[in-house]
């Protein structure tokens, strides 16, 4: 497994047991995948944990000719209701959805996040030494908010250095239904298609 390290201008990668984002080390790294650029969605899953029973379920977003899904999960009337969405950020399309990350001028600071090449309506992308968060555009007002005034923290793991494929983890949330509480997170597999 690989550990994903973040620095001001690139993601450095080193070998270890668990893949998480940590503060960079000054040692040079052999392999790198730069975060900033355009990524294409090539797969994805949702992990759901029942907080009462501690049982865990993995749902694949795509399969059996399904190419569109949503990042939300709900539990109503004893039925799973996963794959819903209420915001454009939450709708995912296999081999169509793109995420583009633009570097901030300084860290901590705001860069841009562009969903599906919509450069006219970018989101904000807040970067600190240890965290990445997709946020409302810093110039947005209540009538044009794209995330409902919320934010989406993002973390990442490397899947393949040679193919520039990374798992992004997003939409970690809690919900309840049928007198049970649940936690879920989306694991989205993206391939780097442009760098800048």
Confidence band for 151, pLDDT divided at 50, 70 and 90:
very high
Domain residue extents for the chain: 37-195
Residue 14 has pLDDT above 90, yes or no: no
Q: What is the pLDDT of residues 76-96, one digit of tens each?
A: 555 566 677 789 999 999 999
- 27-40 residue pLDDT tens: 344 567 899 999 99
Alpha carbon 190 to its chain centroid, in Å, reads 9
Average pLDDT over residues 59-83: 78
* pTM given for the model: 0.80
Per-residue confidence (pLDDT) for residue 144, from 0 to 100 = 81
Place of tokens 């939409």: 171
56 Cβ contact list (under 8 Å, min separation 6): 47, 48, 49, 50
Cis peptide preceding 79, ω within 30 of 0: no
Give me the residues paired with residue 109 across strands: 127
**107-111, 136-140, 158-162, range with the lowest pLDDT:** 136-140
- Give Cβ neighbours of residue 25 (< 8 Å, ≥ 6 apart): 5, 12, 14
Q: If we measure between CA atoms, which residue out of 129, 170, 130, 128 comes closest to residue 153?
A: 170
Residues in the chain: 196
Rg of the Cα atoms in the chain: 17
> What would the mean pLDDT of 154-183 be, rounded to a whole number?
91
Tell me phi and psi for residue 26, to 5 degrees. Answer: -75, -10
């Amino acid at each position: 497994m690989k550990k994903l390290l973040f620095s001001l201008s690139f993601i450095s990668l080193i070998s270890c047991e668990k893949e998480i984002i940590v503060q960079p080390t000054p040692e040079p790294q052999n392999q790198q995948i730069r975060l900033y650029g355009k990524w294409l969605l090539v797969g994805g899953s949702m992990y759901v944990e029942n907080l009462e029973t501690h049982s865990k379920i993995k749902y694949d977003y795509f399969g059996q000719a399904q190419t569109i899904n949503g990042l939300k999960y709900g539990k109503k009337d004893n039925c799973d209701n996963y794959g819903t969405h209420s915001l454009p950020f939450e709708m995912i399309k296999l081999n169509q959805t793109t995420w583009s990350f633009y570097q901030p001028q300084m860290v901590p600071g705001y860069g841009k996040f562009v969903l599906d090449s919509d450069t006219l309506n970018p989101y904000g992308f807040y970067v600190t030494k240890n965290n990445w968060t997709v946020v409302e555009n810093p110039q947005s007002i209540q009538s044009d908010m794209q995330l409902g005034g919320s934010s989406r923290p993002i973390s990442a793991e490397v899947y393949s250095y040679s193919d520039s494929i990374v798992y992004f983890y997003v939409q970690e949330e809690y919900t309840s239904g049928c007198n049970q509480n649940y936690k879920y997170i989306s694991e989205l597999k993206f391939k780097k298609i442009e760098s800048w």
